[in-house]
Structure 1
Amino acid sequence: MKLTFSRSVIAGSAFFAALVFAGDQTDDYLTTLTELGYPAPADNQLVHIPPTLKDLEQSSMHPELKRVIRRGHDLFTDTQQLRGENVFNNMNCSSCHLGDGRMPFSAPVWPAAVTLPNYRGKNDHVNSLEERIAGCFTYSMNGKPPDYGSDNMLALAAYHHWLARGVTMYPEQPIYGRGFPAPERPEEVSYQRGEQLYKEKCAICHGDNGEGLRIRDTTVFPAPWGNNSYNWGAGMVRVSSAAGFVKNNMPLGQPLSLTDQEAWDVAHFMNSQERPQDPRYTGDVAETLEKYGPTFHKHSLYGQKRESDGKVLGDHSNTGNKDFLKPDTVRPRTFE
């Protein structure tokens, strides 16, 4: 089979490579970002360029630790190797955290290593780094996380810590490029405009029906909805998060090319489509919305009527490609 990739994909690969191999050239790194239209860091912001695997090989760290960090990188960029055991959709960690988890404005993962343990409103208790990674498997991967303390969980945590090398724990400065910063929400968002924009700008990679592109056992482009996508509990179902991701990163290789209105319209359309049930589902969508709306679903379309046809989103018991709803890692922590 001969694969043909669009110019945007090729440009995207070159863009990530330029940042990944920027090394310690902070000025060059920031110049690349600002020339693309990203904001320059404010004077009080913490700027960190995560080290690369090349830096790892040149470091004086123990060979066994290097091996574990490389394993973490391998799992992060090819999480599909855990498909059927821990992953039950077509996502990799790097599907959302672009550039091997290093990209600013694409939720770089190194801040988790220096800000956790910390309180998280989503589950209303203090979370460890492993628990935060477990959440990604539970919601974004629609799966079951590797066991706490297991080889795979250790490797993933080690990779996060490697990317944060040199950063002070619990930094007091705001972190430059953290998360998926959303553009200002327009007065109105449109399902119809979003649908048309998706057809024009997104379907070439992610499929006409949001199925993504998978060749043999490799996910080339993730599915933005359906059974092979993230479930209703994933952070990306928040329309603001999706708008921030789209605005700052899509189409691939053309970051910041969409207007703020277009980013919100596409995100609204994409998150108006069905996907596997929230693992916290109580058996009733209205009850689940009432329980988790104040802390999470107030930013999503879960439990709301879709404007195109009146369908109540999330009103089903479909768990996607897995035969369970909630892994045992979704539990409260009380310290009692």
Structure 2
Amino acid sequence: MKSLIATLAVLALNPAQAAPIAMEDQSQLKVPAMQAAPQFTPPAEDQLPDNAFGKMVREGHALFVDTRRLMPEAVGNGLNCSNCHLDQGRLAFSAPLWGAYPMYPAYRKKNDKVNTFAERIQGCFQFSMNGTPPAADSPQMTALSVYAYWLSTQAPIGVETPGRGYPEVPQPKGGYDFARGQQVYREHCAICHGDQGEGQQVAGEYVMPPLWGKDSYNWGAGMHRINTAASFIKYNMPLGRPGSLTDQQAWDVAAWVNRHERPQDPRLVEGSVEKTRVKFHANDGVNLYGQTVDGVVIGQGM
């Protein structure tokens, strides 16, 4: 973890040194042993051909891990693609690209249409990155898509590959508790993400992502669902110690994180949180958007 932070800090302090970005090994980020079923293995960097295709894969990789700096016109917060898709989009149980690319085109209930992979990435920019999606035929989108394609080389098409997505963590019988979640956050999360979820910056660049506030994901992002955040946390956090939290702790801390304000859902209906809740959030997993917590309506945005 120290080497990862050091690498990110160097990039932030001297952006000129950030290209090309080495596809560094993060093999210490392992899934819990009890979940270590056989998974697809993406190709290694040394398998890239020395031609235009290999060059584009490297360009896509750079955009994926350094999105905010390289695509400031498309990113509206402090996040990079690799903040939610760990180990440069390779890590099983962290929504790896090799598990996503072969599943598209696909119908998505979120926008009630069949989405291409490019449209799926555009959704990430709109919600998780709180930004402006690049055009489907833009050089950046092409490079990102090619990188995802390369990682999924020889993966089965249209098959739910083990390790895809974030495995479901059932809601505990007693539900979640904000007070317990705050304590879990203090003990396990604040050291990286800050006491107030503000993340960590070096020379104005985030080296650890903010979890709430103006520079975090917005109210339309999938991670605003407590169940989704609990699954990501359970299988990937704390960094370097995945699986160390119980299901209850994962749900509690996910609820604590997602009770805090963040940028508004860009699909806001007629300026109304309630109308937006009814249309987009009422049946979208377990979430707090439009709910009243401690006398305050959640989801008013930053």
| Residues 74 and 131, structure 2, Cα contact 8 Å, conserved in 1 | yes
Residues 1:133 and 2:129 aligned together: no
Q: Which residue matches 1:242?
A: 229
Aligned residues of 1:9 and 1:253 also touching (Cα < 8 A): no
Q: Aligned residues: percent identity?
A: 46
Unpaired runs of 5+ in structure 1?
21-31, 319-336
1:167 to 141, 146, 155: 155
Return closer, same or farther for 1:41/1:6 CA change in 2, 3 Å cut-off: closer
8 Å CA contact retained: 1:8, 1:251 = no
The 5-angstrom pairing of residues 1-336 of structure 1 reads: 17-18=26-27, 33=31, 36-41=32-37, 47-56=39-48, 59=49, 63-82=51-70, 84-171=72-159, 174-187=160-173, 188-282=175-269, 283-296=271-284, 298-306=285-293, 309-316=294-301, 318=302
What is the identity, as a one-letter code, of the residue corresponding to 1:175? Answer: T
Q: Is the 8 A contact 2:37 2:162 kept in 1?
A: yes
**What 5-or-longer segments of structure 2 have no aligned partner?**
7-23
Q: Kindly tell me: are residues 178 and 294 of structure 1, through their superposed partners in 2, closer, same or farther at Cα, counting changes over 3 Å?
A: same
Q: Deviations over 1:310-330 (max 9, x none)?
A: 2111135x4xxxxxxxxxxxx
Once the two structures are TM-superposed, the CA of residue 184 in structure 1 deviates from its matched residue by: 2.0
Over residues 56-98 of structure 1, what are the superposed CA-to-partner deviations in whole Å (9 max), with x where a residue is unaligned? Answer: 1xx4xx6111111100000000001245411011100000100
CA RMSD for the aligned pairs? 2.2
The TM-score normalised by the length of structure 2 is: 0.88
Instruction: Report the 3-state secondary structure (helix = DSSP H, G, I; strand = E; otherwise coil) of the residue aligned with 2:279.
Output: helix
Quote the Cα distance in structure 1 between the aligned partners of 2:82 and 2:194. 19
- Aligned residue-pair number: 283
Equivalent residues of 1:8, 1:252 under 8 A apart: no
DSSP-derived class of the 2:188 partner: helix
The runs of 4+ residues in structure 1 deviating greater than 3 Å are 5-10
Query: How many angstroms does 1:295 deviate by?
Result: 4.7
- Deviation at 1:219? 2.0
Name the CA distance, whole Å, in 1 between partners of 2:229 and 2:241: 16
Q: Is the 8 A contact 2:100 2:164 kept in 1?
A: no
SS at match of 2:254: helix
Distance of 1:137 and 1:80 partners within structure 2 = 10
Q: Say which is worse superposed, 62-71 or 90-99, in terms of deviation.
A: 62-71
**8 Å contact from structure 2 (residues 85, 91) kept in 1:** yes
The amino acid across from 2:296 in the alignment is: K
Q: Alpha-carbon deviation of 1:8?
A: 10
Q: Distance in 2 between matches of 1:254 and 1:40?
A: 14
SS at match of 2:296: coil
SS of the residue aligned with 2:165?
A: coil
How far apart, in 2, do the equivalents of 1:175 and 1:220 lie?
31
What SS does the aligned partner of 2:27 have?
Answer: helix
Residue 188 of structure 2 contacts residue 238 of structure 2 at CA under 8 Å; is this kept in 1?
yes
Please give the secondary structure, in 1, of the residue aligned with 2:107: strand
